[in-house]
A and B are shown apart, each in its own frame.
Chain A
Amino acid sequence: MSTILTVNNLTKKFGYLTAVNNLSFTIEKGNVYGILGPNGSGKSTTLGIILNVVNKTSGNFSWFGGQTSTHEALKKVGAIIERPNFYPYMSAVKNLRLVCKIKEVPVDKIQEKLELVGLWERKDSKFKTYSLGMKQRLAIASALLNDPEILILDEPTNGLDPAGIHQIREIIKKIAAQGTTILLASHLLDEVEKVCTHVVILRKGEKLYAGPVDSMLASHGFFELRSNNLSQLEELLSNHASFGKIEKYNSTLTAYLKEEMASEELNQFLFNKGIVLGHLVKRKESLEEQFLELTKNK
């Protein structure tokens, strides 16, 4: 697997404020990465630095193993930052032609990409007449013109209506399915959970976690249990070595595992003790719960 981007000890200070603090991570080809973090956690600043529009204070980063200059490397990258920026007085096609000139790629992909994002019918309309959703889709088309090695998206669904959000997500999934490496910055966790294989979690400019989504927490998941004999069930579980915290909510018990245990095993164990379950579900924490857990603890 080849490395697309390496970031080493990157730091950015705005006066007294440290927006990005000693951040390091790498992006490997073929994965879908999410950068997660609350508003103001340094996501956009980090992307700004690697995209050559924000100056770093210290540290370094290198694209594609560091053989090319940043602006040459960016010609092989597709990126959308915050809101779509195009020349308002030019049509979609003319704007894309300009991007082709800058990226030094032929113009024959324009139709294909505009069709992918569903804007071919409106290709001759001026950019300023577009709705926000259409602008965002044009930005994606523009980012794809060079068939990039990596697609960088910063809050691509920000400010869109549900239909627009859905369209953008479908497009992202389509692109991910083609094997393009994607780096998606967002504070919308379900968005990241749906498409990403790896995450980098930031808080106040510091990295809390970087790695696969699955191994984010050293957690073995939890059981949701219901039974007629709830008090006996609770007592049994709290004396069991495999369980840690046990929470009771309405008539449901949530028991967190300290070590791996299959649901069959638990079912057998309880049955032997004379408890019959009405409801048994084994779950892992959702990304949202894991994220809140991570950002709370530190």
Chain B
Amino acid sequence: MVRLLNIEFIKLWNNRASKILILAYFILLTSIALIAAIKFDIGPVKFHLAEQGIFNFPYIWHFNTFITAIFKLFLAIVIVSMMANEYSNKTIKQNLIDGLSKKEFILSKFLTVISFAAISTVFVFVVSMILGLVYSDYNELSIIFSDLEFLLAFFVKLVGFFSFCLFLGIFVKRSAFALGFLILWQIFEGFVRGMIRWKLLDGTDTDRVMAFFPLNAMFNLIDEPFSRLSAVQNVASQIGEKIELDYAVHWYEILIVLVWTAIFIYLSYALLKKRDL
């Protein structure tokens, strides 16, 4: 396993474009701390975002995992191109001739995906922990370590998304087209949602059906955290609305994404096995 990761690391780290994207990604993850610096001070209006409670434990786990998940697109490019480049350089052929089995080949890519997700999760954990310790109003241990399931959801979300990218890389064989396909798929899911809502079902049932589509399932893992902010809640109650959303991470949401991950990895393997190179 270490050997496979090592092989993949050599391939990625010597590629300048990949290296820059990976570095940029982790710098961006860290830069979420900069949100703390957002401060307006215009005469009577004083606004300091860090004091609005977004860095309070345990809310910070929810907020940071939601925001940082947006940056995953950077790694998606890296993953799609690391797969598609093997085809365009024909190095996949050489790897197999040199004695890598097809299973090992897919496994080395999948292990890389897992590593990316794991390192990202650790990163987000550390950054959030520091931010929280600095700005949070509550510092009891029991509060700090509650709601950690958001980190698990974050990890699963990244693994699922990257596996999808991996599969697209193998399926389409060209990085630009694979990324295009990803966008196309996003539009397709939106289109299906629209059609179901319009012709077939009501809002809740549509959501239930859509929860089984891969990108939607990944999005569902971590619900948007904004309406949970006390400031937003206050505004809502002032205009007589009460926002009641289910923010929790559900086991079945995680299961759906894990099943998709398994499907993508298996399909990648099946495709590689079936194709003549």
Interface residues of A (CB under 8 A from B): 48, 51-55, 69-75, 77, 79, 81, 83, 85-90, 94, 97-99, 101-104, 142
B96 neighbours in A (Cβ, 8 Å): 51-53, 71, 74
Closest chain A CB from B72 CB (angstroms): 24
Asked if B100 and A85 sit within 8 Å, CB to CB, the answer is no
Known: A103-B99, A104-B3. A89 touches B276 (CB 8 A): no
Per-position contact with A for B71-102: 1 when CB-CB < 8 Å, else 0? Answer: 00000000000000000011101111111111
| Of the residues A52, A77, A98, contact of B7 by C-beta under 8 Å | A98
Asked if A54 and B14 sit within 8 Å, CB to CB, the answer is no
Per-position contact with A for B256-277: 1 when CB-CB < 8 Å, else 0? Answer: 0000000000000000011011
Asked if A102 and B89 sit within 8 Å, CB to CB, the answer is no
Nearest chain-B residue to A45 (Cβ)? B276
Asked if B7 and A71 sit within 8 Å, CB to CB, the answer is no
User: Any chain A CB within 8 A of the CB of B230?
Assistant: no
| Of the residues A48, A70, A77, A94, contact of B276 by C-beta under 8 Å | A48
Asked if A54 and B101 sit within 8 Å, CB to CB, the answer is no
Known: A48-B277, A55-B274, A71-B101. A102 touches B14 (CB 8 A): no
Asked if A86 and B16 sit within 8 Å, CB to CB, the answer is no
Asked if A74 and B98 sit within 8 Å, CB to CB, the answer is yes
| Of the residues B15, B95, B101, contact of A89 by C-beta under 8 Å | B15
Q: How far is the CA of A68 from the CA of B11 in the complex (A)?
A: 28
User: Any chain A CB within 8 A of the CB of B205?
Assistant: no
Nearest chain-A residue to B17 (Cβ)? A89
Asked if A85 and B104 sit within 8 Å, CB to CB, the answer is no
| Of the residues A71, A72, A85, A89, contact of B94 by C-beta under 8 Å | A85
Nearest chain-A residue to B103 (Cβ)? A71
- How many of chain B's residues touch chain A, expressed as a range? 20 to 34
User: Any chain A CB within 8 A of the CB of B6?
Assistant: yes
Asked if B14 and A75 sit within 8 Å, CB to CB, the answer is no
Nearest chain-B residue to A105 (Cβ)? B99
Asked if A102 and B93 sit within 8 Å, CB to CB, the answer is no
A142 neighbours in B (Cβ, 8 Å): 98
B38 neighbours in A (Cβ, 8 Å): none
The contact sample of 27 A-B pairs, CB cut-off 8 A, is: A48-B276, A48-B277, A52-B97, A52-B102, A53-B97, A71-B96, A71-B101, A71-B104, A74-B96, A74-B98, A75-B98, A75-B99, A77-B99, A83-B90, A85-B90, A85-B93, A86-B91, A87-B11, A87-B15, A87-B89, A89-B14, A90-B10, A98-B11, A102-B95, A102-B100, A103-B98, A104-B3
Nearest chain-B residue to A139 (Cβ)? B94
Interface residues of B (CB under 8 A from A): 3, 6-7, 10-11, 14-16, 89-91, 93-102, 104, 273-274, 276-277
| Of the residues A54, A70, A89, A99, contact of B98 by C-beta under 8 Å | A99
Closest chain A CB from B104 CB (angstroms): 7
Closest chain A CB from B101 CB (angstroms): 4
A51 neighbours in B (Cβ, 8 Å): 96-97
List the 10 shortest-distance A-B pairs measured between CB atoms, nearest first. A75-B99, A71-B101, A74-B99, A85-B94, A85-B90, A53-B277, A54-B276, A102-B98, A90-B14, A51-B97
Nearest chain-B residue to A14 (Cβ)? B276
Nearest chain-A residue to B101 (Cβ)? A71
Among B89, B98, B101: residue with most chain A CB under 10 A: B98
B274 neighbours in A (Cβ, 8 Å): 55
Q: How far is the CA of A98 from the CA of B7 in the complex (A)?
A: 6
| Of the residues B11, B16, B91, B273, contact of A85 by C-beta under 8 Å | B91
Q: How far is the CA of A53 from the CA of B96 in the complex (A)?
A: 7
A69 neighbours in B (Cβ, 8 Å): 101
A88 neighbours in B (Cβ, 8 Å): 89
Q: How far is the CA of A71 from the CA of B106 in the complex (A)?
A: 14
Asked if B6 and A79 sit within 8 Å, CB to CB, the answer is no
| Of the residues B6, B91, B97, contact of A74 by C-beta under 8 Å | B97
Closest chain B CB from A209 CB (angstroms): 27
Q: How far is the CA of A117 from the CA of B197 in the complex (A)?
A: 67
Asked if A101 and B93 sit within 8 Å, CB to CB, the answer is no
Closest chain B CB from A47 CB (angstroms): 9
Closest chain A CB from B270 CB (angstroms): 12
B91 neighbours in A (Cβ, 8 Å): 85-87
Closest chain A CB from B83 CB (angstroms): 14
